[in-house]
Structure 1
Amino acid sequence: MAKLSATAAFWGLLIGSSVVASSEVMAQEVLQVQASSRQAETEVAEWFEANRDRPTLLRAFVQRMPKGGDIHSHLSGAVYAERYIQWAAADGYCIDPAGPDLVEPSACNQDSSYFPAAQLYGRPATYDALVNLWSTRNLPFANQSGHDQFFEAFGGFDAISSSLTRQDDMVAEVANRAASQHISYLELLMTVKGSEARQLGRTVGWNSNFAQMRQRLLDEGLMDLVAQGSQDMAALEREVDKTLGCETPRPQPGCEVTVRYLQQTTRTRLPEEVFAQFVYAFELAKADSRVVGINLVAPEDNPVALRDYSLHMEMLGFLKAQFPEVNISLHAGELTLGLVPPDDLRFHIRQAVEVAQASRIGHGVAILYENEPFQLLEEMRRRGVLVEICLTSNEVILNVEGDEHPFLDYRAAGVPMTLASDDEGIARIDLSNEYGLAAQRYNLGYRDLKQLARNSLEYSFLTGDSLWASPEFNQLSLPCADDVPGSATTSAGCAGFLAGSDRARTQWQLEAEFAEFESLSSFRFR
């Protein structure tokens, strides 16, 4: 899989480009390319407006459009049910037809009614039932809310998704799908050594003095777990490369996608378990460059998650003060009126921003229920706190869509946003679908979609300086101010700058991809 590093070979960075010494030649070419780029962008934007009422054409457009990154994607939920069934058949699992439920290979002989998962291909009714149970497909016939169907789906395939033997296949699956949609960067949420961290928390026991409890965890061997977790990440990276064939003459498309990880903490556990997971996550992110940040998972409306929400934010605030370099993105405000009492809608996003010091918020649907919501929106704008918008997920889980969704409120307040898939396998979507929904529901133009894509990298947890001089994306940073991504030449100063910044280099790649996309005649003259 393609890796970004500050030590990337200089010429390897600038494929198709050459470094020129003549500033006069460079300036002339830059002016020509800039003029051509503006014209191409205008023509694509005009095509988009002329065809925005054609859903089939819009889908083709957003499928091909470069989208930068998907920075809110749960690895286990991103895999489609059909793939889990394929792996179940290959790995010797069985099916309990009464559920139907997945049965681990070691238990296949416990009941004579169980049959091998490989036989599902000859039993389409049971096959379809499993797909429906492991996703939100045919939701109207699920006999329960989208919220319950969504969160219960994870349990159906947990035996496979939590097994180390298929993690490389899971990452490869998601990376290949990303490549097919012209997504170049993924931040995948996953849990490494989570059960071990929770067990350590139970061993140490609860102590409301965070500093003392953290020290106890360290004394009881937490750093040994961190070392093991880092080894697991290195092994996963090697296995993903092998699965994708990245070092072979015929690498799969996912090799071109850069993958980083967010370590998850389960918010529905005992306080001592949650705190231990947090301490472990911070230490792992500090120790392993593949882990670029941390997040919270599990339903925000779970009774334990509601009861301990403020305590969790205080834990994070304490640890962020110890490790300011560790990035935090939090699921917050994934709630709506009726799901929880009104009092639980009034402070979650604010505490995530102000107490936990999160630099990104996942979902943020309940923002207008918060106390002093407009002041909070302004604070988020001023701090540059990005909101990861998951339109389909919010529709399925919360029954919030269209004008009931705060998308336009965030936009009016100037709060940065990007689109994310959340759990594309369970929701039966992809990131391209989210771009199409946003365009249709909120009358977004092509340039608006470009900004959402650019935001995914600008506010990603990649290391290094930004390619852009401002969040408006109207001026490149000084080393590249006189360069044009996608042009035939690159100045030595810009090339050196890109060599030292993973973020800028990925952004440069996105701009070059936009230039290529906008040159396609099919989206200008159809």
Structure 2
Amino acid sequence: MKKAIASVLLCALMAALAFSVPARAQGTPARTDYQATRHYYDSLIAGPNPNLAALTLLMTMMPKGGDLHHHYSGAIYVETFLDWIKQRAYCIYRADNTELKANKFRIETKPGDLGTAARALCLDIDQVRDPSRNDFYRELLSRWSDKDFKDHFQQQVAPDQHFFDTFGYFGSFSDDDYNQGLRLLKARAIAENVQYIETMLRSAPASDNPALARAVNELRPDASPARIEAALGPLHEFLTRDDATAKGVAAYLDSIDAAAAGIDDGEFKMRFQAYVVRSEQPAKVFAGLYSAFAAVNARRRVVAVNIVGPEDGIVSMRDYSLHMRMFAFLKQKYPAVRLSLHAGELTLGMVPPEGLQSHIREAVEVAGAERIGHGVDIVYERDALGLLRTMRERGVAVEINLTSNAFILGVKNEAHPVLVYRQQGVPFVISTDDAGVSRNNLSGEYMLYVSRYKPSYDALKETVFNSIRYSFLSDAEKAAELKGLAQRFAVFEARARALANGAPAKPK
């Protein structure tokens, strides 16, 4: 409880410092700029029909702090992937052919090894982009992302299945040059006034010990905590002493450092979350979690642990409580490791009602998550008010992904629980999830937030500052980024004042 109170007091102090910096640094004119910006913003969201074009301009200009729920491969646009494929002289199959092992829209990384018939089926990127093949090109964009999915009726899979299927096309290719991709994402972030990203770049390595794994894989969904700990203990002990595991963690950290080379500077920073996939065998999930915890514990660029994959999958639902117990086991061993967990990315109809009642609670109360990714099914949780109170008191922030939630879950507008979190005082941040797949950006997410839910300007600003306050940066880094964000807002509000007056602001 003392820790929770201290955390709340620290957040309050940082909030006061963050919002006081512009006024102290700039004096009365900064306050005037703030008032003019607030008035202009209020005018744009007033009435039943917000001024969407003007809001889009304002949200693009506005500092947005950090993007805390971000998947690297899902953040790259298809057009960029095609540029990279051309650089590497790969090709893409234009049709299915079982005999030739060709799958339409799949990348072939060794076109020189193909026979004549198979090579004829595999298009170079210049051929893909040839105007005569516009139909194929448009279909490829739609297959590799959510483009056009909502714009017309067609024979199509369910939206959530379509979303997760996209990673099968570019997932294995997206890791060819992480540094190139991160530099692109940095440039895009800077262009829309984003100063920090926490991304999920690659999964943590998982070692294997078949003899010890058997007891973990045989755990039943209703196994007691004592039974789970008894099965996890020997495997954990093995992993802590295994040279191959230690080398795997070291190589993982080195690969992150190599990917991030040259990314951090005075204008922008990036940190990483290690993650595991829910759908694996329990022993593999645990081994991956151990490596992820060890990576964060090394205190380099990896700052948190996460778990990913469709939450409504057969294995995900069956093993959810077991996964949370795994987090709890490792959290006891490594209490300083930070957790941001995908939880509650579900809604009524996806799973039986019983499956909506405990995921967020277990992530918070069992696993010890400090942030929750999505958190959409909060309104179906058992004792939801008690859980909301716990999240508010502990300062557990929710990562809100409006475009993703609308597409995958069909939850949007008044049905989205962001207003419940706001009304109950639970902190939240606005984030992108997979901007390349969703074909959106953080500015677009903020535009959806302000046009749909019309927060006051002060509440909007608070949400932006939350994206740094609830990041997993060190305290010193966080203080520096908050100061920088306050300075960015001083500049923004001066420009917004000029915009409101109908005169373009002079660049500074």
Asked if TM exceeds 0.5, the reply is yes
Structure 1 residue 202, shift from structure 2 partner: 5.3
Structure 1 residue 204, shift from structure 2 partner: 5.0
> Which is worse superposed, 223-232 or 305-314?
223-232
* Structure 1 residues 32 and 457, CA gap change in structure 2 (3 angstroms): closer
* Structure 1 residues 430 and 255, CA gap change in structure 2 (3 angstroms): farther
Q: Establish whether residue 210 from structure 1 lines up as the match of residue 228 from structure 2.
A: no
Question: SS of the counterpart of 1:183?
Answer: coil
Quote the residue 1:138 is aligned against.
148
* Structure 1 residues 31 and 367, CA gap change in structure 2 (3 angstroms): closer
Question: SS of the counterpart of 1:256?
Answer: coil
CA offsets 1:23-61 (integer angstroms, 9 cap, x no match)? xxxx9x976844433322111010111223211111000
Q: Distance in 2 between matches of 1:346 and 1:51?
A: 38
Contact 1:294 1:327 in 2 (8 A): yes
Structure 1 residue 264, shift from structure 2 partner: 1.4
Which of these residues, 330, 337, 342, is aligned with residue 353 of structure 2? 342
Structure 1 residue 117, shift from structure 2 partner: 2.9
Q: Distance in 2 between matches of 1:383 and 1:508?
A: 24
Which of these residues, 94, 111, 125, is aligned with residue 117 of structure 1? 125
Contact 2:37 2:500 in 1 (8 A): yes
Contact 2:92 2:123 in 1 (8 A): yes
Contact 1:201 1:275 in 2 (8 A): no
Q: Distance in 1 between matches of 2:437 and 2:24?
A: 47
CA offsets 1:469-520 (integer angstroms, 9 cap, x no match)? xxxxxxxxxxxxxxxxxxxxxxxxxxxxxxxx11100000000000111111
Quote the residue 1:50 is aligned against.
43
Q: Establish whether residue 422 from structure 1 lines up as the match of residue 433 from structure 2.
A: yes
Which of these residues, 75, 86, 89, is aligned with residue 92 of structure 1? 89
Quote the residue 2:492 is aligned against.
517
Amino acid at match of 1:66: P
Question: SS of the counterpart of 1:355?
Answer: helix
Contact 2:290 2:330 in 1 (8 A): yes
Contact 1:142 1:149 in 2 (8 A): no
Question: Sequence identity, in percent?
Answer: 35
Q: Distance in 1 between matches of 2:155 and 2:486?
A: 43
Quote the residue 1:69 is aligned against.
66
Contact 1:418 1:456 in 2 (8 A): yes
Question: SS of the counterpart of 1:519?
Answer: helix
* Structure 1 residues 113 and 255, CA gap change in structure 2 (3 angstroms): farther
Q: Distance in 2 between matches of 1:203 and 1:77?
A: 36
> Which is worse superposed, 381-390 or 214-223?
214-223
Contact 2:107 2:170 in 1 (8 A): no
Quote the residue 1:353 is aligned against.
364
> Which is worse superposed, 136-145 or 335-344?
136-145
Q: Distance in 2 between matches of 1:159 and 1:117?
A: 18
Amino acid at match of 2:31: R
Quote the residue 1:308 is aligned against.
319
Structure 1 residue 88, shift from structure 2 partner: 1.1
Contact 1:93 1:102 in 2 (8 A): no
Q: Establish whether residue 103 from structure 1 lines up as the match of residue 107 from structure 2.
A: yes
Map 1:200-279; keep pairs closer than 5 Å.
200=208, 204-208=212-216, 209-220=231-242, 221-238=244-261, 241=262, 256-279=267-290
Amino acid at match of 2:256: M
Amino acid at match of 2:249: V
Q: Distance in 2 between matches of 1:184 and 1:463?
A: 15
Contact 2:92 2:122 in 1 (8 A): yes
* Structure 1 residues 228 and 202, CA gap change in structure 2 (3 angstroms): farther
Contact 1:262 1:291 in 2 (8 A): yes
> Which is worse superposed, 265-274 or 96-105?
96-105
* Structure 1 residues 406 and 158, CA gap change in structure 2 (3 angstroms): same
Which of these residues, 396, 402, 406, is aligned with residue 413 of structure 2? 402
Contact 1:47 1:525 in 2 (8 A): no
Structure 1 residue 104, shift from structure 2 partner: 2.3
Q: Distance in 1 between matches of 2:256 and 2:431?
A: 24
Amino acid at match of 1:228: A
Structure 1 residue 448, shift from structure 2 partner: 1.8
Which of these residues, 129, 149, 160, is aligned with residue 173 of structure 2? 160
CA offsets 1:92-119 (integer angstroms, 9 cap, x no match)? 2111111532232225514132222332
Q: Establish whether residue 463 from structure 1 lines up as the match of residue 456 from structure 2.
A: no
Q: Distance in 2 between matches of 1:308 and 1:377?
A: 24
> Which is worse superposed, 48-57 or 334-343?
48-57
Contact 2:73 2:201 in 1 (8 A): yes
Contact 1:390 1:421 in 2 (8 A): yes
Q: Establish whether residue 148 from structure 1 lines up as the match of residue 158 from structure 2.
A: no
* Structure 1 residues 273 and 257, CA gap change in structure 2 (3 angstroms): same
Question: SS of the counterpart of 1:265?
Answer: strand
Q: Distance in 1 between matches of 2:209 and 2:267?
A: 39
Structure 1 residue 322, shift from structure 2 partner: 1.0
Taking only aligned residues, the RMSD between alpha carbons, in angstroms, comes to 2.0
Map 1:360-399; keep pairs closer than 5 Å.
360-399=371-410
Q: Distance in 2 between matches of 1:97 and 1:117?
A: 11
Contact 2:207 2:245 in 1 (8 A): no
Question: SS of the counterpart of 1:125?
Answer: helix
Contact 2:272 2:302 in 1 (8 A): yes
Q: Establish whether residue 503 from structure 1 lines up as the match of residue 503 from structure 2.
A: no
Structure 1 residue 327, shift from structure 2 partner: 0.5
Q: Distance in 2 between matches of 1:142 and 1:199?
A: 42
Structure 1 residue 160, shift from structure 2 partner: 1.1
Contact 2:344 2:378 in 1 (8 A): yes
Structure 1 residue 173, shift from structure 2 partner: 1.7
Amino acid at match of 2:163: F
Give the paired residue count.
Answer: 446
Q: Distance in 2 between matches of 1:117 and 1:396?
A: 29
Q: Distance in 1 between matches of 2:465 and 2:88?
A: 40
Q: Distance in 2 between matches of 1:31 and 1:216?
A: 56
> Which is worse superposed, 125-134 or 502-511?
125-134
Amino acid at match of 1:174: L
Contact 1:90 1:118 in 2 (8 A): no
Q: Distance in 2 between matches of 1:51 and 1:201?
A: 60
* Structure 1 residues 380 and 80, CA gap change in structure 2 (3 angstroms): same
